[in-house]
Chain A
Amino acid sequence: MSDTPTRIQFSINGTGAAAEAEPRMLLADFIRHRLGLTGTHVGCAHGACGACTVLVDGRPARSCLMFAIQAQGADISTVEGLASDSSLSALQDEFRNHHALQCGFCTPGMLMSASALLTENPDPSEEEIRRALAGNLCRCTGYNNIVRAVKAVAVRRRK
């Protein structure tokens, strides 16, 4: 297999960028080790745990199941793009308020899935939240505080 790198142009958290990736480099590794954005975590590398979830053109994607070259021209969002320098986003803030994280390893993927849900459906029901997050595993919290945190964002937006 050729290991000749390809130059990829993309946008990361709203900023245009370009970098090289070997043909078989996973998008997760590219984001983490080539771009240095280590907030996106790899929990299983077989598409089952959701820890590596990022948004590709606004839709949640498992960056462990994509090659970096598939992101040619794509608009990629990662957890690092959620907060401003000074303050957390409403979703991050409600995660903190509701103790929706313990070890924090699954949290970035969980935030990205929840953020995609809230963009698509600003006022989801509990059932809709549970379905949208069913592909993101968490072993610490038991999930209920995560569901409450997402719900609280919707309530906060309604006010």
Chain B
Amino acid sequence: MKEAKETGCYTGVAVRRREDERFLRGQGRYIDDLPEPSGLLYLGFVRSTHAHAAIRSINAESARALPGVTSVVTGADLAAWTIPMATPAPDGKKLLRHNMAVERVRYVAEPVAAVLAANPYLLEDALELVEVDYDPLTPVVSIADARKADAPRLYDYLSSNIVFEAKYAIPGTDEAFAKAPHVFADTFSSTRLSGVAMETRGFIASFEKGRNNLTLWSTAHLPHKERWEVADALGLAEKNVRIISPDVGGSFGLKTSTFPEVVAGAAISRRFGRPVKWLQDRQEDLAVMHGRDFQFHIELAVDDNGLILGVRNTPVVNIGAYPMWVTTAGLDAAGAGHHMMGPYKVKHYAYHAMSVVTNTAPTSSVRGVGAPICSFGMESLLTRAAEKLGIDPVEIRRRNLIKKEDLPYKNAVNVTHDTASNVECLDRALERSGFMEFRKTQSGKPGRDGKLRGIGLACMADHTGQGTSVTRSRGQASRWPGYDGALIKIEPDGKAVVHVSVASQGQGHETVFAQLAADGLGLSIGDVTVEAADTASVPFGTGAGASRAAVAAGGAVIKASTRIAEKMKRIAGHMLEASPGDIVLSEGKAFVTGVPNLAVTIAKIAETAYMIGTGQMPKDETIGLDALEYYDPPSSSYAMGTHVAQVAVDPGTGLVTVERYYVVHDCGRVLNPSIVEGQIVGAIVQGIGAALMEGARYSEDGQPLSTTLLDYTIPTTLDVPEIVVDHIETPSTFTLGGMKGAGESGAVGSVPAIILAVADALSAHKPKITTMPLTPSTVLSLMGVR
């Protein structure tokens, strides 16, 4: 791997990651690695053992009596110290979330009481001594339970358990369905997932009474959003809350939520005047860090040639006991409405999205949000349509894909596709995977090892880099605006620090934004540092997530470095007696085009700009070399790709093995091919987990059944095949720099590709696969074995 191209251009090169050395040396600084402030107390939570119950009493006497225990705090105590988080609900009402249960528990593992102790071992002892007496109520666990007319209501002040509804229709959609010669429909669902970031959540909250300031070292994925939510709950000004997200060990969407513990911890630190530390253990993580509990009813209308006439989607999302985002209870449901069309031309479209509350852990968005299940539904129904109409399954996709000649193509939810390499991705994936030949010779047939082989293909598009205009058109205007910021400072010695508003949980921001800034400023990448962790020093912004950091923060870095570069060219031009337009910045120097000897170093320019040397600034030039810029992408931009999975099914055990995997992908301009490929492969492997093994299941009475990593299994080295990644690079015409997002598309395309491959292997049984994971027992039942 090269450090840089000979031209001095870093962007687009597989620059080795600048964060890696500290991680490899064991010098990463995750929450539990940080130095502990003096006077620290350890915080733990007594959690509900019931899915739905009234709290009769809490007896904390023996816990309080234990030496080393400072305090026990109940939900009623906390309610007096915080303002409940209020989310819009139907009929103009607000759904109130207390961060510890008050009078009633609504899910297993809901915090009921908090204990403060001098060390983590004593804390565990004390947590076991708190006795809570419950009066059980009937739990509502599934989407079907929640929607029953006579279902117990989770919130007496709401009219039902449906807490969000949104409808949208292109006029004429129902008529298109009524006239359509063929309609295919089914309900596609996912089993609830857990994120399983390798680092669980945690924080150190430290409130300084004298300054009325809260510092929160937190695993927050969206530090500015968490700052606002914590400030709001505690009645503090945002300026008085500082969130520092140090190294964070993965998120995959889950850590975007402001969870109850962090609000409780902040309030407890303020109340007791002591810093408090909380670390989530893995059992807690697996009991509460959930997402993607979906049932989408999808209908596809096609004509005799397989051309799509219309699509209707009724996505229902089980959000658990309460919304995790204060501003909406419909983040995933509305997203599912929005993401349905993927890479296909759909003229008539309607959705009716809803969220229901149940007595299960509150859910957050998981990588891909609604799109993997939308894509699962779309690809499955297109495959069924092809079979019914006698059209090749590849051909039916090809006929419906958005093509270059369709551009610019405004889709059914009014987002325009700026580029379209869908057909090129499909063709190259067919070629690389040998899809057609495999189907002829191996599909559904037992190999020499007795295993049935199958191949599945999915065309997908992923909505990335959403700007404020699209956010607003989706009615989501909130603390998730759509732009991001970059503050770049060249220090007086000529070396640069880049502060970006997007925090990293492993995506390589310290590298990619340094690449962009180094190129923009003409510096060596070794002279550029990227900082992202601290709300006290980074500009406000939306934050990473929804495949947007490269687009939005990348654009901001380009804008800020361009502004500084222009100033440096003016200063250099003045010093070299040349026109600023003739100055080139490269490798730490400014030189006159075509006269490389006529040069001045950036260090010298900085010295001049800060007036610490004797160099003369141009007349009327301002002091310093820094720039703060925001970039708001004008729209969203669709990344696209084709995924092909090849599987083997053991007919004796029902075990599915993914044997080969191909993806051809277009995420616009690639900033660092190695990092982009890492994102795609990592997301595909999460798709293997979702499709084949993962499930955060509940018993009928609402007890979580998979709270260890032995019960909730994720892919290991033995579950992952060779994954061949190929890029087509079509720069976005919408975004500054041409980037599109790459974080989630792997998670979107892998689910349908793997499931369709299993269906292909089992074709003799004509399975209609509508849910996942395809565990061995599920596969055996699809084969008619009980």
Q: Are B20 and A101 in contact (CB under 8 A)?
A: yes
Tell yes or no: B24 within 8 A of A by CB: yes
Q: Are B709 and A144 in contact (CB under 8 A)?
A: no
Name which of B47-55, B243-251, B334-342 contacts chain A: B243-251
Tell me the complex Cα distance, A105–B202, Å: 14
Q: Pick from B14, B120, B283, B720 the residue with the most CB of A within 10 Å.
A: B720
Q: How far is the CB of B718 from chain A (nearest CB, A)?
A: 5
Q: Are A39 and B28 in contact (CB under 8 A)?
A: yes
A-facing mask of B182-219, CB < 8 A → 1, else 0? 00000000000001111110000000000000000000
Q: Are A103 and B250 in contact (CB under 8 A)?
A: yes
Tell me the complex Cα distance, A133–B507, Å: 23
Classify chain A's interface size: 35 or more
Q: How far is the CB of B510 from chain A (nearest CB, A)?
A: 11
- State which residues 16-47 of B face A: CB under 8 Å: 16-17, 19-30, 32-33
In the complex, residue of chain A having the shortest beta-carbon distance to the beta carbon of B124: A24
Question: A96-B21, A99-B17 are known contacts. Are A142 and B720 too (CB-CB below 8 A)?
Answer: yes
Tell me the complex Cα distance, A77–B408, Å: 59
Tell me the complex Cα distance, A139–B719, Å: 13
B-facing mask of A24-46, CB < 8 A → 1, else 0? 11000100100001111111111
Q: Are A106 and B198 in contact (CB under 8 A)?
A: yes
Q: Are A96 and B685 in contact (CB under 8 A)?
A: no
Tell me the complex Cα distance, A105–B195, Å: 15
Contact of B506 among A78, A108, A140 (CB under 8 A): A140
Question: A49-B709, A147-B717 are known contacts. Are A40 and B26 too (CB-CB below 8 A)?
Answer: yes
A-facing mask of B748-771, CB < 8 A → 1, else 0? 000000000000000000000000
Tell yes or no: B716 within 8 A of A by CB: yes
Please report the number of residue pairs spanning A and B whose Cβ atoms sit closer than 8 angstroms: 174
Specify which chain B residues have a CB less than 8 angstroms from the CB of A78 in the assembled complex: 26
Specify which chain B residues have a CB less than 8 angstroms from the CB of A43 in the assembled complex: 198-200, 282
Q: Are A142 and B681 in contact (CB under 8 A)?
A: yes
- State which residues 50-104 of A face B: CB under 8 Å: 51, 78-80, 82-83, 88, 92, 95-97, 99, 101-104
Q: Are B28 and A144 in contact (CB under 8 A)?
A: no
Q: Are A38 and B33 in contact (CB under 8 A)?
A: yes
Tell yes or no: A146 within 8 A of B by CB: yes
Contact of A80 among B23, B26, B196, B250 (CB under 8 A): B26
Classify chain B's interface size: 35 or more
Tell me the complex Cα distance, A40–B608, Å: 47
Q: Are B26 and A42 in contact (CB under 8 A)?
A: no
Contact of A103 among B33, B506, B681 (CB under 8 A): B506
A-facing mask of B646-690, CB < 8 A → 1, else 0? 000000000000000000000000000011011001101110000
Tell yes or no: A9 within 8 A of B by CB: no
Tell yes or no: B128 within 8 A of A by CB: no
Tell me the complex Cα distance, A142–B28, Å: 21
Q: Pick from A39, A83, A96, A105 the residue with the most CB of B within 10 Å.
A: A105
B-facing mask of A111-151, CB < 8 A → 1, else 0? 10000000000000000011101111111111111110000
Q: How far is the CB of B717 from chain A (nearest CB, A)?
A: 4
Tell me the complex Cα distance, A24–B214, Å: 34
Tell yes or no: A17 within 8 A of B by CB: no
Q: Pick from A45, A104, A145, A147 the residue with the most CB of B within 10 Å.
A: A104
In the complex, residue of chain B having the shortest beta-carbon distance to the beta carbon of A42: B32
Q: Are A144 and B249 in contact (CB under 8 A)?
A: no
Tell yes or no: B710 within 8 A of A by CB: yes
Tell yes or no: B121 within 8 A of A by CB: yes
Specify which chain A residues have a CB less than 8 angstroms from the CB of B533 in the assembled complex: none
Q: Are B28 and A96 in contact (CB under 8 A)?
A: no
Q: Are A104 and B717 in contact (CB under 8 A)?
A: no
Q: How far is the CB of A140 from chain B (nearest CB, A)?
A: 5
Q: Are B30 and A105 in contact (CB under 8 A)?
A: yes
Q: Are A137 and B507 in contact (CB under 8 A)?
A: no
Q: Are B716 and A96 in contact (CB under 8 A)?
A: no
Tell me the complex Cα distance, A97–B23, Å: 14
Q: Pick from B26, B30, B684 the residue with the most CB of A within 10 Å.
A: B26
Q: Are A134 and B716 in contact (CB under 8 A)?
A: yes
Tell yes or no: B320 within 8 A of A by CB: no
Contact of B198 among A46, A95, A97, A137 (CB under 8 A): A137
Chain B contact surface mostly: loop
Q: Are B23 and A139 in contact (CB under 8 A)?
A: no
Tell me the complex Cα distance, A113–B16, Å: 23
Q: Are A143 and B678 in contact (CB under 8 A)?
A: no
Specify which chain B residues have a CB less than 8 angstroms from the CB of A102 in the assembled complex: 250, 506-508, 678, 682
Specify which chain B residues have a CB less than 8 angstroms from the CB of A131 in the assembled complex: 717-718
Specify which chain A residues have a CB less than 8 angstroms from the CB of B247 in the assembled complex: 103-104
Q: Are B26 and A144 in contact (CB under 8 A)?
A: no
Q: Pick from A32, A37, A44, A88 the residue with the most CB of B within 10 Å.
A: A44
A-facing mask of B113-135, CB < 8 A → 1, else 0? 00000001100000000000000
Tell yes or no: A22 within 8 A of B by CB: yes
Q: Are A137 and B709 in contact (CB under 8 A)?
A: yes
Tell me the complex Cα distance, A93–B14, Å: 15
Question: A88-B21, A96-B24 are known contacts. Are A139 and B714 too (CB-CB below 8 A)?
Answer: yes
Tell me the complex Cα distance, A78–B678, Å: 26
Q: Are B121 and A22 in contact (CB under 8 A)?
A: yes
Question: A95-B24, A107-B23 are known contacts. Are A141 and B709 too (CB-CB below 8 A)?
Answer: no
Tell yes or no: B708 within 8 A of A by CB: yes
Tell me the complex Cα distance, A88–B716, Å: 26
Tell yes or no: A19 within 8 A of B by CB: no
In the complex, residue of chain B having the shortest beta-carbon distance to the beta carbon of A147: B717
Specify which chain B residues have a CB less than 8 angstroms from the CB of A95 in the assembled complex: 20, 24
Q: Pick from A41, A49, A102, A144 the residue with the most CB of B within 10 Å.
A: A102
Tell yes or no: A48 within 8 A of B by CB: yes
In the complex, residue of chain A having the shortest beta-carbon distance to the beta carbon of B720: A143
In the complex, residue of chain B having the shortest beta-carbon distance to the beta carbon of A39: B26
Specify which chain A residues have a CB less than 8 angstroms from the CB of B196 in the assembled complex: 137, 139
Question: A43-B282, A46-B709, A105-B198 are known contacts. Are A144 and B23 too (CB-CB below 8 A)?
Answer: no
Tell me the complex Cα distance, A13–B718, Å: 31
In the complex, residue of chain A having the shortest beta-carbon distance to the beta carbon of B121: A24
Contact of B250 among A24, A97, A140, A142 (CB under 8 A): A140
Tell me the complex Cα distance, A41–B30, Å: 9
Specify which chain B residues have a CB less than 8 angstroms from the CB of A37 in the assembled complex: 26
Tell me the complex Cα distance, A37–B249, Å: 18
Q: Are B20 and A79 in contact (CB under 8 A)?
A: no
Specify which chain B residues have a CB less than 8 angstroms from the CB of A103 in the assembled complex: 197-199, 247-250, 505-506
Q: Are B682 and A105 in contact (CB under 8 A)?
A: no
Contact of A49 among B1, B32, B198, B677 (CB under 8 A): B198
Tell me the complex Cα distance, A49–B716, Å: 10
Tell yes or no: B102 within 8 A of A by CB: no
Q: Are A88 and B678 in contact (CB under 8 A)?
A: no
Tell yes or no: B603 within 8 A of A by CB: no
Question: A42-B32, A83-B24, A103-B248 are known contacts. Are A97 and B1 too (CB-CB below 8 A)?
Answer: yes
Q: How far is the CB of B458 from chain A (nearest CB, A)?
A: 18
Tell yes or no: B723 within 8 A of A by CB: yes
Q: How far is the CB of B191 from chain A (nearest CB, A)?
A: 18
Of the A-B pairs whose beta carbons lie under 8 Å apart in the complex, a sample of 17, sorted by A's number, is: A38-B26, A39-B25, A41-B30, A42-B32, A43-B199, A46-B282, A96-B17, A99-B675, A99-B678, A102-B507, A103-B199, A104-B249, A105-B30, A139-B252, A139-B682, A139-B686, A140-B506
Additional A-B contacts beyond A49-B709, A92-B24, A96-B17 (4; CB < 8 A):
A97-B16, A101-B20, A103-B197, A139-B197
| Residues of B that sit less than 8 Å from A by CB | 1, 14, 16-17, 19-30, 32-33, 120-121, 195-200, 247-250, 252, 281-283, 505-508, 674-675, 677-678, 681-682, 684-686, 708-710, 714-718, 720, 722-723
